Amino acid sequence: MLLAAARYGYPNAKVRALRSRKLTEQDRHFLLDAKDLTSCLSYLATTSYSPFLPDPEKGIPELSALERQLARPLLDHYAKVVHSLRGAKERELILALFRRFEAENLKIVLRALFAGFSRDAVSHLLYPVGHLSDLDWDTLWACKSIGELLEHLRPDIFGRSLQHALPQFEAQGRLFPLEMALDFSCFRLLRQAVSALGKRYDRTVTEKIFTSYIDILNILWVIRLKIDYGLPPEEIVNYTLPEGNEITLDCLNRLSRVKDIAEFINQLPPVFRHELSGIRDWGKIGPALETYFLKILARIFSGQPFHIGVGVAYLLEKEIELGGLITVLQAKAKNLTVEEIGNRLPRQFSEIGHVQAG
C-alpha cells in the first residue's frame, strides 16, 4: 500500500481535483430546465465549461462546432492525467484510451478524402487533440488518396489494421470497413496496454472497467449494425469486439438474430436484463447502459484509491458527462420537453431532485 501510495498519491489527488469540476446536480437541473438553447448556454457559462464557450456576442455557432469546443476540457484533462503519472506503462494506458479521439479524427480525414472535401470544410468536426497526439496531421491532410494516407500511419497504431481492411473498402466502395478497423485498432491497443501493466491490482481494476465497457459497446454495436445498417447476422458478429465479460460470442450470435426488442433484451445475461427491464424503445437502451456503466465507474472512487483505474474511470465518466451535455444542447435546439430530453440521458443526469433557486 505504501508503494502504491507513493506511485499514485499525486495522480489520485490530481484526478479528484479534476473530478470536483464536474457538473453538479444543481447544474444539471438548470441545464435541463432552461427554456431554450440560448438560456442553456447562458447557464453553462456559469460552470467549469465557461472558458470553452464561444463569445455570446458573435451568436450561437453550429452545434457540430460547439460540440468539439466543449470536448476541449475532456482532452485537456487527458493531458493532465498523463503528465501526472510517473510510470511509462500507466501513461501508455491513458494514451491508448485517448487514441479513440485520434481515430474519430482519422475518420473525418478519410471521409473528406473519399468525398473530395477540403480540410477547412470539415475542420469544425475535429476533436481538439492538441499536443497529446503524435500523429502528423498536416502530412495526413496533404495526402491525395486513402492509400497514400495509410502509408503515413504507424503500423503498430492504426496503419496495419487499416491496410488489412483496405481490400474490403476497395471491393465495397464504402468507408465502413476502414472505420470499423480504426475502432478495432483502438481496443487492441487498450488490451495491450492493460496487459502490460506491471501491478496486478492495476490490471484487475482496469480489466473490470474495460470488459464492462466492451460488453456495452457490443450490445450497442449489434443494435446499430442490425437496425441502422441492416447487416445480416453473420456479418454483424464479425464487427464486434472480443474479450468482453458477460457478452459471449454465442450471446452475440443470438442477439444478431432476434426479431424484436423484447426478444433482444431476453437474450442478454441477467445483469443486463435487469438494467433494461421494461424498455420498449431501442433508443432508450443506450442511456440505460450508460446508467449501468456510470455505477461501475462510481464504485472505483469508493475503494482503494491508489491505482491507475481512478484515472481511467474519471476520464470515461467525464466523457459520458460531455455526451449528456451535448444531448441536452441538441434537444434544446429542437425545443424538446424536459421529459423527452430525460429519455435520452443516463439516469444520473436526468433523474435529479428539484433545486431551489438561490
Question: Looking up cell 501526472, which residue turns up?
Answer: 84
Contact 126, 108 (CB under 8 A): yes
Domain boundary among 174, 198, 222: 198
Quote the strand ranges of 122-234, DSSP E: none
If asked whether residues 107 and 194 sit together in one domain, one would say yes
Does residue 12 share a domain with residue 60?
A: yes
Helices (H), 146-175: 146-151, 160-172
- Domain co-membership, 299 together with 224: yes
What is the structure's pLDDT at 358?
35
Give CA–CA dist 266/232, Å, rounded: 20
Picking from 164, 183, 198, the residue at the C-terminal end of a domain is 198
Task: Characterise 186 by phi-psi region: left (phi > 0), alpha (psi -120 to 50), beta (else).
Answer: alpha
Q: What is the CATH number of the domain that holds 337?
A: 1.10.132.50
Find out whether 247 and 218 touch, Cβ atoms under 8 Å: yes
Q: What is the pLDDT of residue 353?
A: 44
Inside any domain, residue 127 = no
Q: Is residue 263 part of a domain?
A: yes
Instruction: Note the pLDDT of residue 2.
Output: 63
Please check whether residues 215 and 296 belong to one and the same domain.
Answer: yes
Domain boundary among 154, 177, 198: 198
Label residues 4-36 b or e (16+ Cβ within 10 Å = b): beebbeebbebbeebeeeebeeebbbbbbebee
Closest CA to 223 of 263, 270, 250, 255: 255
Domain count, the chain: 3
Same domain, 3 and 50: yes
Is residue 75 within 8 Å of residue 101, measured between CB atoms? yes
For residue 227, what is the domain's CATH number?
1.20.1690
The pLDDT score that the predictor gives to residue 64 is: 86
Report the half-sphere exposure of 343 (CA within 13 A, side-chain side).
Answer: 11
Distance CA 183, CA 348 (A): 27
**pLDDT tens-place values along the chain, 358 residues long:** 667 788 899 999 999 999 999 999 999 999 999 999 999 999 999 999 999 998 877 777 788 889 999 999 999 999 999 999 999 999 999 999 999 999 999 999 999 999 999 999 999 999 999 999 999 999 999 999 999 999 999 999 999 999 999 999 999 999 999 999 999 999 999 999 999 999 999 999 999 999 999 999 999 999 999 998 899 999 999 999 988 999 999 999 999 999 999 999 999 999 999 999 999 999 999 999 999 999 999 999 998 899 999 999 999 999 999 999 999 999 999 999 999 999 999 988 876 544 443 3
* Same domain for 208 and 149: no
126 assigned to some structural domain: no
321, 22 contact by CB (below 8 A):
yes
Q: Give residue 293's domain range.
A: 200-304
Looking at the structure, do residues 273 and 356 belong to the same domain, yes or no?
Answer: no
Rg (CA), the chain: 21
For residue 252, being part of any structural domain is answered with yes
* Degrees, nearest 5: CA angle 99-101-104: 115
Report angle CA 163, 224, 213 to the nearest 5 degrees: 80
Contacts of the segment 294-298: beta carbons below 8 A, 24+ positions apart: 294/320, 294/346, 294/348, 296/208, 296/209, 296/212, 297/209
Other Cβ atoms less than 10 A from the Cβ of 91: the count is 18
Minimal CA–CA distance to 226: which of 187, 267, 185?
A: 267
